[in-house]
Amino acid sequence: MSGIRSSFIFSLAEKYASQMLLIGTTAVMARLLTPAETGLFLTANAVILLADNFRAFGVGTYLVQEKEIDRALVRSAFTLTLLFSFVCAALTFAFSDTVAGLYGAPALGPLLAASSLAFLLTPISGPVIALMQRELAFGRIAFVNVSSALAGSAMTIWLGLNHHGAMSFVWGSVAASALMAILAFAMRPELSIFVPSLSRARRLLSFGTWSSLITILNMSYDLLPRLAFGRILGFDAVGLYARALTISQLPDRMLVSALQPVVLPALAAHVRAGGDLREGYLRGLSLTTAVHWPALIMLALLADPVVHLLLGPQWIEAAPLVRIIALANLALAPAFLTFPVLVAAGRIRDALLASLISLPPSFIIAIGAAFISLDAVAASMLIVAPLQMAVAYAFIRPAVDLSWRRLWRALQPSIALTLGAALPPGLLVLVSGQGFALDWPMTVIALAGGTAGWLVTLLNIEHSVKEELVGSTRQLLGRFARVRAPAE
């Protein structure tokens, strides 16, 4: 538990730092680029992310969850990553102008061509990061990721200030990938693992096929609507919707993105040690919803001032979209646990089947809503998010022997915390006379009230998050005392 808690602390610190850099970069670039320029980059980025998930091919996931690994397996992982990366780079470069022609946007071609360079850098960092995740070495991973994010943000903003438009984001991403490769190798300078070999390729390909299909399905659902919106609604709508998603996913990025790298290694280690997967899942669910749900409710209530602060007044049309999406995301809060739990239970095919059942109808609903309006697209998430989570639970419950009664008992304390956090800002919105468009003093009061409501509720109920906060505080104080002891 101590090792997992330390891993979570490092991962949380890393994600907070990375998200602060992302928020800062987004805020600056939102004032330098038009919504159309932003939408152009995000369309190119959607293509790149789809290709990148094919490139990864589940190799890193396999290294993390496999019970026993050896040097031959790691070499095969590197070789497959290298091959897939070069294929993705070549195809992206070759078809960049073709994709640009489909959109009638010649400026899209150079963005895709330049982005393909990042593929050539990932064969070094990918396997090394996976090995460090397996070892729960999240302190070193945090250093690599934060340093890379800082380099990418600095490059993006510098180019944006020098009027390079959407290309600023592309070269920032390439710079981040380059530094990540350098630092990852510096963390584990083992040249022997980079010797080409395909001796264990069959095992990796078998697992990678299932893992990649799951990832590609999920990424396709996330990104294909964005690509379709560019054709149906225009690049302005793509930029507006993407920025609304960015804001509405801030709680997810600040919490879940910190937990996600730790969950699969922790659950895999737990299972290898003979632990109870059901209890691990319920604890993770309880800890996540205790923070995620209150943050989403407060974001929905304070969407207007948050959008105004982070993006500027020219993006205020995104605020109603943020409000709807944040509420829909309440249903998806536990979604990030689905894949690691099913993989740890040896049911990766169930994870694929769950995606095959829930994602195609979700995609159809989103595209259909796009022919109505952008607001309808956001509202469609109120349907598809509960649908996706219901399908996920249909597979999780038999995998970990989980009853609905036990699930309800695990979630009740988090529901209480959510209501406690929502009450003060909700009342303020109702009585202020300004509705959701609170001024800055009222916004600060609302945030303080929500935080106080969460803390007061936590002190008066039994919740696993209280135990974790106490344990993490003691662990940090213990580390601080050990560091100071030699100096004294």
Look at residue 269 in the predicted model and tell me its pLDDT: 64
By the 10 Å C-beta count (0-12 exposed, 13-18 middle, 19+ buried), 480 is classed as: exposed
Look at residue 98 in the predicted model and tell me its pLDDT: 87
* Same-domain check for residues 160 and 239: no
pLDDT tens digit sequence for 214-231: 777 777 777 666 667 767
Average pLDDT over residues 475-488: 56
* Same-domain check for residues 197 and 247: no
Q: Is residue 345 one of the residues assigned to a domain? A: no
Q: Is residue 225 one of the residues assigned to a domain? A: no
Of these ranges, 58-72, 122-136, 194-208, 446-460, the one predicted with the greatest mean pLDDT is: 446-460
* Same-domain check for residues 283 and 247: yes
Give the pLDDT band of residue 259 (cuts 50, 70, 90).
low
Give the pLDDT band of residue 355 (cuts 50, 70, 90).
confident
Look at residue 380 in the predicted model and tell me its pLDDT: 92
Domain that holds residue 108: 1-208
Q: Is residue 343 one of the residues assigned to a domain? A: no
DSSP string, 317-368: THHHHHHHHHHHHHHHTTGGGHHHHHHHTT-HHHHHHHHHHHHHHHHHHHHH
Interhelix angle 35-56/71-94, rounded to 10 degrees, is 140
Helix (H) or strand (E) holding 464: helix 464-487
Of these ranges, 208-222, 430-444, 474-488, the one predicted with the greatest mean pLDDT is: 430-444
* Same-domain check for residues 87 and 177: yes
Q: Which amino acid is residue 460, in one-letter code? A: N
* Same-domain check for residues 254 and 297: yes
pLDDT tens digit sequence for 11-37: 667 777 877 888 888 888 888 887 777
Helix (H) or strand (E) holding 472: helix 464-487
Average pLDDT over residues 407-435: 89
The stretches of 162-192 forming alpha helices (DSSP H) are: 167-187
∠ CA 134-128-257, nearest 5°, is 60
* Same-domain check for residues 294 and 167: no
* Same-domain check for residues 329 and 451: yes
**Percentage of the residues of the chain whose pLDDT score is greater than 90:** 16
Enter the DSSP assignment of 240.
Answer: H
Q: Is residue 220 one of the residues assigned to a domain? A: no
* Same-domain check for residues 149 and 192: yes
Res. 2: pLDDT tops 60: no
Look at residue 252 in the predicted model and tell me its pLDDT: 78
pLDDT tens digit sequence for 134-157: 777 778 888 888 899 999 999 999
Look at residue 3 in the predicted model and tell me its pLDDT: 52
Say how many domains are in the chain. 2
* Same-domain check for residues 197 and 259: no
Average pLDDT over residues 197-226: 73
* Same-domain check for residues 36 and 129: yes
Res. 336: pLDDT tops 80: no
Give the pLDDT band of residue 299 (cuts 50, 70, 90).
very high
pTM greater than 0.75:
no
CA dist 41 and 49 (Å) reads 12
CA dist 31 and 314 (Å) reads 9
Of these ranges, 194-203, 424-433, 446-455, the one predicted with the greatest mean pLDDT is: 446-455
**Is-contact 50 223, C-beta < 8 A?**
yes
Paired tokens of 479: 């580390």
Q: Is residue 157 one of the residues assigned to a domain? A: yes
Res. 7: pLDDT tops 70: no
pLDDT tens digit sequence for 73-104: 888 888 888 888 888 889 889 888 888 887 77
Per the prediction, the chain carries an average pLDDT of: 81
* Same-domain check for residues 331 and 268: yes
Give the pLDDT band of residue 121 (cuts 50, 70, 90).
confident
Look at residue 41 in the predicted model and tell me its pLDDT: 82
* Same-domain check for residues 68 and 183: yes
Higher pLDDT, 424 or 13: 424
Q: Which amino acid is residue 475, in one-letter code? A: Q
Give the pLDDT band of residue 450 (cuts 50, 70, 90).
very high
Say which range, 197-211, 305-319, 388-402, 466-480, has the weakest mean pLDDT: 466-480
Q: Is residue 214 one of the residues assigned to a domain? A: no
Q: Is residue 306 one of the residues assigned to a domain? A: yes
Look at residue 416 in the predicted model and tell me its pLDDT: 94
Average pLDDT over residues 30-51: 79
Q: Is residue 459 one of the residues assigned to a domain? A: yes
Dihedral sign computed on CA atoms, order 258, 261, 263, 266: negative
Give the pLDDT band of residue 266 (cuts 50, 70, 90).
low
* Cα Rg of the chain, angstroms: 23
Look at residue 486 in the predicted model and tell me its pLDDT: 52
